[in-house]
Amino acid sequence: MTDTPSVLITGASTGIGATYAERFAQRGHDLVLVARDKARLEALAGRLRDKTGVSVEIVPADLTNRNDLGVVETRLREDWRIGILLNNAGAGLAGAFERQAIDDIDRLVALNTTALVRLAHAAAVRFVQVGEGAIVNTSSVVGLVPEFGQSVYGATKAFVLYLSQGLGLELGPKGVYVQAVLPAATRTEIWERARADPAKIPPLMDVGDLVDAALVGFDRRESITIPALHEAEHWDAYQAARHVMIPGFAQIHPADRYRTAD
């Protein structure tokens, strides 16, 4: 792996992914950009090459398609220049659960979870072999807040958070850094694509601010980065409360409150 590794970014044609591409190009990293929209990828790649002089390759791919996904997995397994995977591709889905089309739900889960974990695995196998590398997974604060009412989307993002924390514990001692980035509401096209009601869209963070904050967390080697959370001690308290419960799970008898029926 080179001193300045290449970065493979999924969901790179717009929004958070495109902004990450700009920032990493400015840092001197060559790029491999993955998204469905070939025209947008080509336009972005051309701008970045002209502006920064880095090498930018594009891989048009629909990550819900197993053949396309396989192409990206192979690239991650075989391209030893790639030292950073940015698992950013994702989608939302508006509306009440019972009104969402099951095929739309299936595609959402495939993109937000299955594709992400397969790409993370493809990268991790090689990163562990060389003893270095980084995997950045885009989660969401919605994964912490079922009260938001985006049940399937939030569940996929909770999966990404848990996976990232688990992989950090597994892979960290082997030289692989894993970061989960949890955006709050951010100004991207995801709202329009999810057919969200404009009247219900909350105040939005600028995507550049989001990515710049996430990169501060990346440089600090944070495991969890939540740019919108001003009180870091709240996350620390959340983690502390979770750890307090862990010893209580190792019991062979049910808790007293379940021993008798009300």
**Residue among 28, 24, 23, 56 at smallest CA distance from 42:** 56
Query: Known catalytic residue: 162?
Result: no
Catalytically annotated residue among 153, 177, 238, 258: 153
CA dihedral 89, 24, 51, 19 (to 10 degrees): 40
Tokens of 240: 């502390």
CB atoms within 10 A of CB 87: 29
Tokens of 254: 């049910």
C-beta of residue 231 within 8 angstroms of C-beta of residue 214: no
CA distances from 39 to 36, 49, 217, 259 (A): 9, 15, 31, 63
**How far apart are the C-alpha atoms of 42 and 48, rounded to whole Å?**
10
Element containing residue 238 per DSSP (H, E): helix 232-245
Which residues are catalytic, by number?
153
